Each structure stands twice: as structure tokens, then as C-alpha cells.
Structure 1
Amino acid sequence: MKAQLEKEMLILLEKCMQGNRQAQYEVYQQYSKAMFNICFRILNNYEEAEDVLQESFVSAFRNLSSFKGDATFGAWLKRIVINHAINAIRKKKQSLVSIDEHPVDIPEPDSGKNIDENDIEFNVEKIRKAMELLPEGYRIVFSLYLLEGYDHSEIGEILGISESTSKSQLNRAKKKLKAIMAQY
């Protein structure tokens, strides 16, 4: 079954390389929602995420001949989407939060409440809203590590930061996220 799906995808991608608009639309329909979610998590802006998504697909279709099949098409496309999202941030000249330059201001929970981290009810909507409140650098590292599955050395390479900075930003993002969640 999996081999059949891979074969069908390769046929569809071959049609895309030949400029077949219907095939391109089918690929877009299959991957656009997941790729948009990646864009939005990184950019935290709906319109920018839409723009980056479109640019990513255009880039992918133009460079489809460089897809060698070493990884799945989805993984290859995901890398393009992440790179375009990171480049969009760089173009806006918004740099990652430097841990040394900007100390983290984590609000203390109300002293009248004994909040145990394990007792905090994490639901998807609360986490999504809380993630939007994270500083940009924290949100990007958090998304790339926990949601997209990159390790710290890969994140460092993608973002042009050290592996230790990636680890520190992830830890601080988690703390900040917990603090935000405790306020809800």
C-alpha cells in the first residue's frame, strides 16, 4: 500500500515537473494545510503565513527537479517552507531574542494559588494562544524542536545560532509558556 502511494506521488510529481497545473493543484491540496500550519507557527501572522506558503510552493515547483527522493516529498517540502518562513523573518530584520541581551520576564503565579505544573490542564487552544504570546525567537525554536522534530544542531544551522542558544531558548520558551498557561 505504501509503495503504491509513493509510486502515485512520483507520477504526480513528474506531471508537476512538466508544468501540469492540475497535478500541481493536487499536490497543493494534499500538503497546503499542514505547510500553512508550519508557516503560521513560525511567523505568527496569518497573512504572512499565506504569502510564505505561496512562495514556498512556487519555489518547490520550480525546483522539483532537485527532489531526489532521499526523503519523502512532504519532508522535502517542509524544509522549503521552514526556510522561506525563516527568510521572511530575516527580511523583516527581526532577529531572534538574544538570551543575554533580553532577560526573560516570567510572571509569578498568584501566591494564593498552589499551582502544580502537572495539574495544569493543557489543551490545544490554550497552548496555541499561549505560543502566540512567546517572543519570536522562543516561538520559532519551540516550534522547530517540539512540533517539527528538528534537533538543536539542525535548528542552529537553520537559524544561524549556536546549538546551546537553541537549547537555552527552548528551555526558556517552555518556562515562559508554563507561566503564560498558569495565568489562564
Structure 2
Amino acid sequence: METEIRFTHKAIVEQCKAGNSNSQYELYSRYVDAMYNVGFRFLGNAEDAEDIVQDSFVDAFKNLNNFKYESSFGAWLKRIVINKSINHLKAKRIPVVPMDAHEFHLTDEEPVEAAATDLNKVKKGIALLPDGYREIINLYLIEGYDHVEIGEILGISTSTSKSQYHRAKKKLLEIINEL
């Protein structure tokens, strides 16, 4: 089944590369909702997420010849959406601020999982985080990037990614406990 799905997607992508608009619409239909969710998690704004997703599809279709099947089409497109979302936040001048080592003392911190058993509270809490914190939480917890990758994506050091993540997690716990 996995091979069949890959082959089917490869066939659709190849048809898109040849300019087949029906295939483009099929890829769009398969991925638009998932990509909107990714954009919305980063941006927290429906209109911005819609714009980012549309721009991402346009860029993806313009650059399909650069897609080399090293990952799935969905993973490639997701990376485009994430990068565009991050660039949008940077354009709004929402910085990810480096933290000094002495500000990074979290030994008695509760894990998010233990403090927040209600998924809706967690989702609401993430939505209420400042943009920079929400960005780190999304990249690490939801999108599954490690701190080295986050550092590369955001142009920050691995240690800054780690400290920002821990500060974001601490802030998330505070928000959740207030809900």
C-alpha cells in the first residue's frame, strides 16, 4: 500500500510537472487542509494561514522541477509552508530572542503532559502564546523538528532553540493553569 501511494503521488507530481492542471488540482485537494493547519498553528490567524498556503502551493508548482522525491511531496510542501510562515512572522518583526545561560534554570519544571491532560486546554494555551514561543512549540512538539533543525530554520543557535523551547513550555504551563 505504501509503495502504491508513493507511486500514485509520483505519477500525479510527474503529471503536474508536465503542466496537467487536473493533477495540480488533485495535489492541492489532497494537501490544502493539512497545510492550512500547519500555517494556522504557526500564525494563529486564519487569513494569514490561507495566504501562506496559497503562496506555498504557487511556489511548489513553480518549483516542481526541484522536487527530487527525497521525501514525500507532502513533507516537501510542509517545509515550504513552515518556511513561509516563519518568514511572515519575521516580517512582522517577531523575534526569537537569545537567552543567556544564567536565565535558563528549569530543574523543577513540570512536564507539559503531566500538567495538561485536557487537549483543548493545550490547544487554547498554544494559541495564546506569544508568536515566538508558539513558533518554537510548533516546530518542536507538533512538527517534530529537533533543536539543531530548529536552529537552522530560524537562524539561531541550538542552545537558543533549547532555551526558547523551555521558556515557551514554562509559559504554556502558566497559561494552561490559568484556563
Give TM class, smaller chain. 0.7 to 0.9
Give the Cα separation in 2 of the matches to 1:116 and 1:147.
16
Residue 160 of structure 2 aligns to a residue whose secondary structure is helix
Residue 31 of structure 1 aligns to a residue whose secondary structure is helix
List per-residue Cα deviations over 1:1-47 (Å, max 9, x = no partner).
Answer: 21111111111111111222211111111111111111111111111
Give the Cα separation in 1 of the matches to 2:111 and 2:92.
39
Give the Cα separation in 1 of the matches to 2:111 and 2:169.
15
Larger radius of gyration: 1
Give the Cα separation in 2 of the matches to 1:15 and 1:140.
35
1:81 matched residue in structure 2:
81
Give the Cα separation in 2 of the matches to 1:116 and 1:29.
37
Does structure 2 retain, via aligned residues, the 8 Å contact 1:56–1:84? Answer: yes
User: How far did 1:118 drift?
Assistant: 6.8
TM-score, normalisation: structure 2: 0.88
Does structure 2 retain, via aligned residues, the 8 Å contact 1:15–1:23? Answer: yes
Percent identity reads 50
Residue 88 of structure 1 aligns to a residue whose secondary structure is helix
Q: Which runs of 5+ in 1 are unaligned?
A: 104-114
User: How far did 1:94 drift?
Assistant: 2.3
Q: Which runs of 5+ in 2 are unaligned?
A: 104-109
Does structure 2 retain, via aligned residues, the 8 Å contact 1:16–1:23? Answer: yes
1:78-157 mapped onto 2 (5 Å cutoff): 78-99=78-99, 120-157=115-152
1:72 matched residue in structure 2:
72
1:159 matched residue in structure 2:
154
Does structure 2 retain, via aligned residues, the 8 Å contact 1:97–1:138? Answer: no
| Structure in which a larger fraction of residues adopt helix | 2
Q: CA RMSD in A?
A: 2.2
Give the Cα separation in 2 of the matches to 1:11 and 1:116.
44
Amino acid at match of 1:171: H
TM-score, normalisation: structure 1: 0.86
List per-residue Cα deviations over 1:39-60 (Å, max 9, x = no partner).
Answer: 1111111110100000001101
Amino acid at match of 1:174: K
Distance 1:30 1:182, change over 3 A: same
- 4+ long deviations beyond 3 Å: 97-100, 115-121
Give the Cα separation in 2 of the matches to 1:93 and 1:183.
28
Matched length: 172
